[in-house]
Amino acid sequence: MPRVTSADVARESGVSRTTVSYVLNGRADVVLTDATRKRVLETAARLGYTPSAPARALRSGRSDLVLCVLPDWTVGPAIDTLVDHLTTALADHGLSLLVHIRRGARPLSHLWGAVTPCAVVVLSPVGADDARAMRQAGIPVVGTALDEASEPDVFAVPQASIGAVQAEHLVERGHRVLAYAAPLDDRLGAFAVRRLAGVRDACARHGLPTPPLAAVDLDAEAAAGVVGAWHAHGVTAVVAYNDEVALAVLAGARAQGLDVPGDLAVIGVDDLPAARLAAPALTTVWQAIDAQAGYLAAALLAALGLAEQTPTRPDDVFHVVPRAST
Amino acid sequence: MPRVTSADVARESGVSRTTVSYVLNGRADVVLTDATRKRVLETAARLGYTPSAPARALRSGRSDLVLCVLPDWTVGPAIDTLVDHLTTALADHGLSLLVHIRRGARPLSHLWGAVTPCAVVVLSPVGADDARAMRQAGIPVVGTALDEASEPDVFAVPQASIGAVQAEHLVERGHRVLAYAAPLDDRLGAFAVRRLAGVRDACARHGLPTPPLAAVDLDAEAAAGVVGAWHAHGVTAVVAYNDEVALAVLAGARAQGLDVPGDLAVIGVDDLPAARLAAPALTTVWQAIDAQAGYLAAALLAALGLAEQTPTRPDDVFHVVPRAST
DNA sequence: CTGAAAGCGCTTACAG
DNA sequence: CTGAAAGCGCTTACAG
Q: Greater confidence, A225 or B117? A: A225
Nucleic strand C within 7 A of Cβ A62 = no
Q: Which residues of B touch A91 (CB under 8 A)?
A: 103, 105-106
Nucleic strand C within 7 A of Cβ B3 = yes
A128 touches chain B (CB under 8 A): no
Q: What is the pLDDT of residues B50-89, one digit of tens each?
A: 888 888 888 887 788 888 888 766 566 777 788 888 888 8
Q: What pLDDT sits at residue A179?
A: 97
Considering chain B, what percentage of its residues have pLDDT values greater than 90? 39
Q: In the β-sheet with A96-101, what is the strand arrangement from edge to edge?
A: A154-156, A141-145, A119-122, A65-70, A96-101, B96-101, B65-70, B119-122, B141-145, B154-156
The conformational region for residue B116 under phi > 0 = left, psi -120 to 50 = alpha, else beta, is: left
A74 touches chain B (CB under 8 A): yes
Q: What pLDDT sits at residue B251?
A: 97
- Domain with B225, as residue range(s), is 159-287
DSSP B321: E
Q: Which residues of B touch A3 (CB under 8 A)?
A: 61, 137
| Closest alpha carbon to B325 in B245, B261, B235 | B261
Q: Is residue B322 in some structural domain?
A: no
C-alpha distances in Å from residue A325, one per residue of A170, A243, B19, B123, B249: 11, 12, 69, 38, 20
**How confident is the prediction along chain A (326 residues), in pLDDT tens digits per residue?**
667 888 888 888 888 888 888 888 877 777 778 888 888 888 888 888 888 888 888 888 778 888 888 876 656 677 778 888 888 888 788 788 888 877 655 567 667 766 778 888 888 766 667 777 777 777 888 887 777 766 667 778 888 999 999 999 999 999 999 999 999 877 667 788 899 999 999 999 999 999 999 999 999 999 999 999 999 999 999 999 999 999 999 999 999 999 999 999 999 999 999 999 999 999 999 998 888 888 888 888 888 887 767 778 888 889 999 999 99
Number of C-beta neighbours around residue A154 at 10 A = 18
DSSP B282: P
Q: Which residue of A has its CA nearest to B249?
A: A277
Q: Is residue B326 in some structural domain?
A: no
* Measured distance CA(A276)–CA(A281) in Å, rounded: 5
Q: Specify whether A125 is located in the same domain as A146.
A: yes
Q: What pLDDT sits at residue A200?
A: 96
Q: What pLDDT sits at residue A273?
A: 92
* Mean predicted confidence (pLDDT) in B10-24: 86
Q: What is the pLDDT of residues B226-274, one digit of tens each?
A: 999 999 999 999 999 999 999 999 999 999 999 999 999 999 999 999 9
* Measured distance CA(A52)–CA(A6) in Å, rounded: 9
pLDDT score of B132 more than 90: no
Q: Which nucleotide is nearest to B56 (CA to C1')?
A: C10
CATH at B42: 1.10.260.40
Residue A3 phi, psi dihedral angles, 5° rounding: -65, 145
Q: In the β-sheet with B178-182, what is the strand arrangement from edge to edge?
A: B213-215, B178-182, B237-240, B265-267
Which of 180-209 (A) contact B at CB < 8 A?
none
Could you tell me which residues are beta bridge partners of residue B238? B179, B266
* Measured distance CA(B82)–CA(A221) in Å, rounded: 29
Give which of B98, B218, B321 to mutate to test A binding, by max A Cβ within 10 Å: B98
Q: What pLDDT sits at residue A7?
A: 86
Considering chain B, what percentage of its residues have pLDDT values greater than 70? 90
Instruction: Pinpoint the alpha helices (H) of chain A.
Output: 6-13, 17-24, 34-47, 53-60, 77-91, 108-115, 128-136, 159-172, 189-205, 220-232, 243-255, 273-277, 289-303
Q: What pLDDT sits at residue A103?
A: 64
Q: Specify whether B73 is located in the same domain as B32.
A: no
Q: Specify whether B163 is located in the same domain as B152.
A: no
Q: Is residue B114 in some structural domain?
A: yes
* Measured distance CA(A137)–CA(A120) in Å, rounded: 12
Q: Specify whether B75 is located in the same domain as B176.
A: no
Residue A191 phi, psi dihedral angles, 5° rounding: -75, -50
Q: Specify whether A251 is located in the same domain as A309.
A: no
| Closest alpha carbon to B96 in B86, B106, B82, B105 | B86
Q: Specify whether B137 is located in the same domain as B45.
A: no
Q: What pLDDT sits at residue B150?
A: 63
Answer for the pair B108, B127: CB distance below 8 angstroms, yes or no.
yes
Q: What pLDDT sits at residue B319?
A: 95
Q: Specify whether B183 is located in the same domain as B280.
A: yes
Q: Which residue of A has its CA nearest to B113?
A: A50
Q: Is residue B237 in some structural domain?
A: yes
Q: Which residues of A touch B74 (CB under 8 A)?
A: 77, 80-81, 84
| Closest alpha carbon to A108 in B123, B151, B145, B91 | B91
Q: What pLDDT sits at residue A126?
A: 66
Size of interface A-B (CB pairs under 8 A): 174
Please tell me the distance in Å from A98's CA to the nearest CA on chain B.
5
Q: Is residue B128 in some structural domain?
A: yes
Q: Specify whether B124 is located in the same domain as B140.
A: yes
Last residue of a domain, one of A33, A51, A69: A51
Q: Specify whether A45 is located in the same domain as A72.
A: no
Q: Specify whether B99 is located in the same domain as B122.
A: yes
Q: What is the pLDDT of residues B154-172, one digit of tens each?
A: 778 888 999 999 999 999 9
* Measured distance CA(B282)–CA(B276) in Å, rounded: 6
Q: Which nucleotide is nearest to A61 (CA to C1')?
A: C8
pLDDT score of B105 more than 60: no
| Closest alpha carbon to B123 in B178, B166, B162, B71 | B71
Q: Is residue B324 in some structural domain?
A: no
* Measured distance CA(A130)–CA(A139) in Å, rounded: 11
Could you tell me which residues are beta bridge partners of residue A101? A70
B251 touches chain A (CB under 8 A): yes
Q: Specify whether B195 is located in the same domain as B92.
A: no
Q: Which residues of B touch A293 (CB under 8 A)?
A: none
Answer for the pair A108, A130: CB distance below 8 angstroms, yes or no.
yes
- pTM as predicted: 0.85
* Measured distance CA(B300)–CA(B309) in Å, rounded: 11
3-class SS string, B227-253: HHHHHHCCCCEEEECCHHHHHHHHHHH
| Closest alpha carbon to B194 in B246, B141, B288, B125 | B125
How buried is residue B293: exposed, middle or buried, by Cβ count under 10 Å (0-12/13-18/19+)? Answer: buried
Verify whether the Cβ–Cβ distance B247 to A64 is below 8 Å.
Answer: no
Q: In the β-sheet with A265-267, what is the strand arrangement from edge to edge?
A: A213-215, A178-182, A237-240, A265-267
Name the band, by pLDDT with cuts 50, 70 and 90, for residue B140: confident
- Write out the H or E segment, with its range, that includes residue A121: strand A119-122
Q: Could you say which nucleotides of strand D lie within 7 A of any protein CB atom?
A: 1-5, 7-14
Could you tell me which residues are beta bridge partners of residue A67? A98, A120
* Mean predicted confidence (pLDDT) in B27-39: 79
Q: Which nucleotide is nearest to B8 (CA to C1')?
A: C9
Q: Which residues of A touch B281 (CB under 8 A)?
A: 220
Nucleic strand D within 7 A of Cβ A43 = no
Q: Is residue B321 in some structural domain?
A: no
B272 touches chain A (CB under 8 A): yes
Answer for the pair B264, B235: CB distance below 8 angstroms, yes or no.
yes
Q: Specify whether A173 is located in the same domain as A188.
A: yes
Answer for the pair A56, B52: CB distance below 8 angstroms, yes or no.
no
Q: Greater confidence, B175 or A94? A: B175
Based on the structure, what is the number of domains in chain A? 3
CATH at B208: 3.40.50.2300
Q: What pLDDT sits at residue B296?
A: 87
* Measured distance CA(B271)–CA(B322) in Å, rounded: 11
Q: Is residue B195 in some structural domain?
A: yes
A283 touches chain B (CB under 8 A): no
* Measured distance CA(B252)–CA(B149) in Å, rounded: 38
